[in-house]
Structures are given as C-alpha cells and as structure tokens.
C-alpha cells in the first residue's frame, strides 16, 4: 500500500511540474487577450456596424456594406497607393543609409564614439518633437531650408514645402527618413559586431578587398537581420500617423493621406467608427498577408546553401 501511495504522489508531483510552464504563461495570455485579441475583435465587430458618433439613432448592423463602400471609395484606393509609395521610399532609403552608416561605424577611427552618438540621436527624439523640428525647418517664412537655399542661390523665392502639392510628399518622406535611419544603423551595427573576426582575417589572407568583404561576407551574414528589420520597419511605416498628422494632416489635396492617416481622419475627426474600423480591418489583412508572403519568399531563418 505504501508503494502504491508513493507512486500516486510521484505522479501528482510530475503532473504539477508539467503544469508549471502553463501556469506561468497565464498572465501573458491575459495581457495578450486584453491588449490584442479583445481590441482586434472589437474592430471586426464595429466594421459590420453603421456607427457614426453624430448619428446615434442610425446605429445598426450593416454586414459587409462598409466593405462594399470601401472598394468604391476613391480616397481609399488613393490612400492605398500613397501608403505603398510611402513604405517603399522609407524602407529602401532607411535600409541603404542605415547599412552604410553601420558599415562606417563598424570600422575603427578617431572619434567613433562621438559619431555613433550623433547617428543615434534622431532615434531618441519623440515623434511629436521630430515633427515640430521639421515643421520649423520647412517653414515658408522663417524656415532654415529656405534660408540656406536662397543664400546658395538655388531658389529665388521662399517655398511652402508642406503646403505645395508638388513638394509635400518628398518633404515628409525626408523628415521620416531622418528619424528612421538610426533603427537600421543600430541593428546592423550590433549584427556586424557579432560576425567572427576569423572571417575578416580569412578574407585578407585570400587577397579580398573591402568591397568584396562587404558583399561576400558581411551582407550574407546579415541576411536574417535585413529581413527582420525591413519587415518590422514596413509595418511601422505603414502604420505611421504621428509625423504625417503633425506635419500635414494628410494634405494638401490628400497628397500625404496614407491608409492609416485616412483611417485616423475618418474615425477621430469625422467620428465614423464603423467605416474607420473597416479601414483598420483592411490594413490588418494587408499587413498580415504581406508578412506571411515576405517571410515565405525571403526564406527567413533558413540555413544558407553552401
């Protein structure tokens, strides 16, 4: 009887040990549900509703009517194209410039620590402060950019960079590039410093030059880092609202109205939570499909063939 009791006790102890990991992740599951699953479910629910704050009596279930409206909405289609241009311009520019700076900062030279601080500085500045800084730079009357260009003789009259439909998109893109470069520079620099020094020595012994080392050793070793950072930055830039909202508000003439900017204006400014939620669902599906396809095609996490 004692042996049987001992066996039962051991089984219970083993069961408790197996249950410990599941018990420990319960707080995380609660937070995920509270801050992700529940809000996401709420957005899907409101996307099927006619929910306009100024018309409480008109609230009703409309099914897929909001989605039908979305595909015939010219502003939605235009904002989708603007989002694509915005993401491509930002991610490609930040990737190239961030990698270039990381490669430069990975070499040893006098004052490297100071230059690293200067490069990383924009990342420490908040989005609102960045917007205020660039709005002053682009200001038509007192802006630094106009002053410099007029002193150099490049322009003869002051330009409203954020009020001109021909320049507003490029001006906004440049401001966001300045803020986003440090993300790639920091990440790539950390990845570069983890590359074994033996590979550098082998390249030197084999007679390889700097460019060959970069393209045949460093960049291939950064493959997974490049894939992950570009994916994260694509999601962040697609969802970018603060800088565009502060600098242009999506104007003029919808030139800087991305999908998330249109969603913000529809929901917050116009109070149309039903159609705004539909736009949010569309953005969620677009990003989800992009992430799945991108990771599949890029081979993230797979070993390189020798």
SS (H, E, C) 109-134: CCCHHHHHHHHHHHHHCCHHHHHHHH
Counted residue by residue, the chain has a size of: 306
> What letter does residue 267 receive in the DSSP assignment?
I
Beta strands in the chain (DSSP E): 49-50, 60-61
SS3 107: coil
pLDDT digits (tens, 9 = 90+) for 115-168: 888 888 888 888 788 888 999 999 998 889 999 999 999 988 999 999 988 999
Please report the pLDDT score of residue 8 as a whole number. Answer: 61
pLDDT of residue 145: 93
Q: Where are the domains of the chain?
A: 81-258
- pLDDT score, position 306: 42
pLDDT given at position 301: 66
Q: Is 174 exposed, middle or buried, given 0-12, 13-18 or 19+ CB atoms closer than 10 A?
A: middle
Give CATH superfamily name and number for 81-258.
MetI-like (1.10.3720.10)
HSE-up of 220 (CA within 13 Å, CB side)? 11
Q: How many whole angstroms from its chain centre is CA 291?
A: 12
What b/e readout covers 106-137, taking b as 16+ CB neighbours within 10 angstroms?
Answer: eeeeeeeeeebeebbebeeeeeeebbebbbeb
Q: What is the pLDDT of residue 76?
A: 94
71 or 36, higher pLDDT = 71
Cβ atoms of 52 and 274 closer than 8 Å = yes
Check residue 170 and give its pLDDT.
94
pLDDT (tens digit per residue) in 226-237? 999 999 999 999
Q: Is the pLDDT of residue 200 over 80?
A: no
Structure tokens at 244: 């565009």
């Amino acid at each position: 009887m004692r042996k049987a009791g001992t066996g039962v006790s051991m089984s219970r102890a083993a069961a408790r040990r197996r249950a410990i990991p599941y018990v420990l992740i319960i707080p995380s599951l609660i937070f995920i549900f509270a801050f992700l699953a529940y809000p996401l479910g709420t957005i899907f629910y409101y996307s099927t509703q006619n929910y306009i704050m100024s018309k409480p009596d008109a609230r009703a279930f409309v099914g897929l009517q909001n989605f039908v409206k979305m595909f015939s909405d010219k502003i939605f289609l235009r904002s989708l194209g603007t989002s694509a241009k915005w993401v491509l311009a930002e991610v490609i520019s930040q990737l190239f410039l961030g990698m270039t700076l990381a490669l430069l900062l990975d070499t040893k030279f006098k004052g490297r620590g100071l230059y690293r601080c200067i490069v990383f500085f924009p990342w420490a500045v908040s989005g609102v402060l960045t917007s205020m800084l660039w709005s002053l730079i682009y200001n038509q009357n007192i802006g630094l950019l106009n002053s410099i260009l007029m002193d150099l003789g490049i322009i003869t009259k002051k330009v409203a960079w954020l009020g001109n439909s021909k320049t507003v998109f490029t001006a906004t893109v440049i401001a966001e590039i300045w803020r986003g470069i440090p993300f790639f520079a920091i990440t790539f620099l950390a990845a570069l410093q983890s590359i074994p020094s033996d590979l550098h020595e082998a390249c030197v012994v084999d007679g390889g030059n700097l460019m060959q080392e970069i393209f045949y050793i460093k960049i291939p070793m950064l493959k997974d880092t490049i894939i992950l950072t570009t994916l994260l930055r694509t999601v962040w830039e697609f969802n970018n609202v603060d800088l565009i909202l502060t600098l242009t508000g999506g104007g003029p003439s919808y030139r800087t109205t991305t999908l998330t900017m249109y969603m913000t204006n529809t929901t917050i400014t116009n109070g149309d939570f039903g159609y705004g939620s539909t736009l949010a669902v569309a953005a969620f599906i677009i990003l989800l499909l992009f992430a799945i396809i991108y990771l599949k095609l890029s081979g993230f996490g797979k070993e390189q063939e020798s």
